[in-house]
Structure 1
Amino acid sequence: MKADHVWGIVMPAQLGQAVKVRMQQQDSDLGPIVSHPRSNRWTYLIRPDLPDEVRLFAEMFRLDVSVVRTGGTIALPSPTDQCVEFRRWVEPPRCTFRPSGRVVLDAIRICAGLPPHHSIARSERP
């Protein structure tokens, strides 16, 4: 699916599982999550509310996390695919709700041992 009104945050499956647990502990609604077993990655479908900042890109790159923005492609499970080896729903879409990308990023940061709303110190800037 082409990302437009829905974006994706793609991360290693182990981090994705930790983020899911963290969000559930915080009573945050999850929204749809896709597992990609062959690449061992998860994709969280989110609202398109993240800033387009180099600092954010660099921070997530260090964690092996990427954001699929408008114009990108998000791989979804096929309703006709009987093989869960390629893609499967961890949390299927039940309605039109998608969590804020900021909520998912805060959970990622906490699970990675960073403070939420992490900002790079002046000495760390390129």
Structure 2
Amino acid sequence: MIDPHSGRITMRAGLIGAVMMPTGLAHRVKTSLDVRGIAPLTIVGHPRADMWTFLVRADIRPIGDPAEVARLWEARVVVIREGDIALPSPVPDPLMVRTWVSPTTSVFRPSGAVVIECALSITSQARR
């Protein structure tokens, strides 16, 4: 969907969801997923916020373990199951609000549950 006033491009979360996290953690998650052969990944960068958003299959169930929820909260990992997901504009963006880190090249989207599991694994390793 394109907002006619701002030119902002969004898609409604539904079959596709998103997992947003700080760039440092996202680099490690991407590397881990690449090593596991989970590709191609579609990733939106938010340079000013120093965050990346992975577009994923919306198969993420609520996390029941309070310790895992706390680790994700501390790591600033955000799961988007509902609402709008902001995408980069095809026109030059002088403010660099959003950019493609890894643009869409196919209909494949990794499992959101796998992306979350990977982020939790990396945050657990960092705590040790």
TM range (shorter): 0.7 to 0.9
Q: Given the alignment of the two structures, is residue 48 of structure 1 paired with residue 58 of structure 2, yes or no?
A: yes
Deviation at 1:54, TM superposition (A): 5.2
The TM-score, its normalising length taken from structure 2, stands at 0.78
Taking the TM superposition and a 5 Å limit, the aligned residue runs for 1:1-126 are 1-53=11-63, 55=65, 57-70=69-82, 72-83=83-94, 85-114=96-125
Gap regions ≥5 residues in structure 2: 1-10
Query: What is the RMSD of the two structures over their aligned residues, measured on CA atoms?
Result: 1.8
Question: In the TM superposition, what is the alpha-carbon distance from 1:30 to its structure 2 partner?
Answer: 4.0
What SS does the aligned partner of 2:101 have?
strand
**Structure 1, gaps ≥5 residues long:** 115-126
The more displaced of 49-58 and 22-31 is: 49-58
The CA distance in 1 between the partners of 2:95 and 2:34, in whole Å, is 24
Return the structure number with greater strand share: 2
Q: Could you tell me the percent identity over the aligned residues?
A: 35
Residue 124 of structure 2 aligns to a residue whose secondary structure is coil
Per the TM alignment, residue 80 of structure 1 is displaced from its structure 2 partner at its CA by 1.8
CA 1:100/1:20 → structure 2, altered by over 3 Å: closer, same or farther? Answer: same
Can you list the C-alpha shifts for 1:49-101, whole angstroms capped at 9, x where unaligned? Answer: 0112454644421221010012x221110112344721111110011111001
Q: Name the amino acid aligned to 1:25.
A: V
Could you say which residue in structure 1 is the equivalent of 2:4?
none
Secondary structure in 2 aligned to 1:112?
helix
TM-score, normalised by the number of residues in structure 1: 0.79
Aligned partners of 1:59 and 1:35: how far apart in 2?
A: 22
